[in-house]
Structure 1
């Protein structure tokens, strides 16, 4: 599946590491995506809400009735494999299998191997905002 096809079929995006600070890249990209019509679900244990959306401490705290198409990771690459493990556990419990997207400089070989071994589409080292602009 191409990036354009992925983006065209995506409605809801979990943003792990999303910040409420307008100077942070995760905030700017979340705002761009929300303005483009995507539903944004921020995940960050240090935030209560971002862009008017409730922020969840971790992905497993997202209510079961929310259908997630993509998880966009904005964490240091040393934590990406841990995040992928959490996504896999959550997916096993929820029955969902979102695309895992890692922003530029966020991917790791271990994370990619884990995701692919568990049947996830894994996009690495691409800016979601830039790719959406290109696909439009």
Structure 2
């Protein structure tokens, strides 16, 4: 069966139920898409947890080298890495008990999706979390 993203209603439910977003590949450079998207999500009230072994802090949050280093629950693992790097990230997302693996716009990998899905995670690929949040929750999570 070919992969299909959740419906818009399901994505809305995922966003409403989520607080902590671990961002794998979050750059500390403000001109990068990963930074801009994460900053916008932070301003909407989500907790951004940077996963970047080369930085100490990004967006005022402590960085972690890997998902497994994060000492708190993660709702969404949002990925800004090339598709070929996503299967091990999916394995880590399953290992930490994340609820959703979200591969950003332009990123899709069927192996990563299968790993995450088989591990009980919801999977979204080739979609921008900021765009989806802006469309589905334009006034924030309180506006159900």
Residue in 1 aligned with 2:110?
Answer: 109
Question: Deviations 1:70-98 (Å, cap 9, x if unpaired)?
Answer: 1101111010111101222233xxxxx32
CA distance in 1, matches of 2:133, 2:119: 26
Of the three residues 68, 80, 91, the one matched with 1:74 is 80
Residue in 2 aligned with 1:36?
Answer: 44
- Gaps (5+ residues) in structure 1? 92-96
Instruction: Give the structure-1-normalised TM-score.
Output: 0.90
The RMSD of aligned alpha carbons is 1.1
Instruction: Give the structure-2-normalised TM-score.
Output: 0.85
Structure 1 residue 118: deviation in Å?
1.6
Residue in 2 aligned with 1:133?
Answer: 134
- Gaps (5+ residues) in structure 2? 1-8, 138-144
Q: Hey, which bits of structure 1, 4+ residues long, moved more than 2 A?
A: none
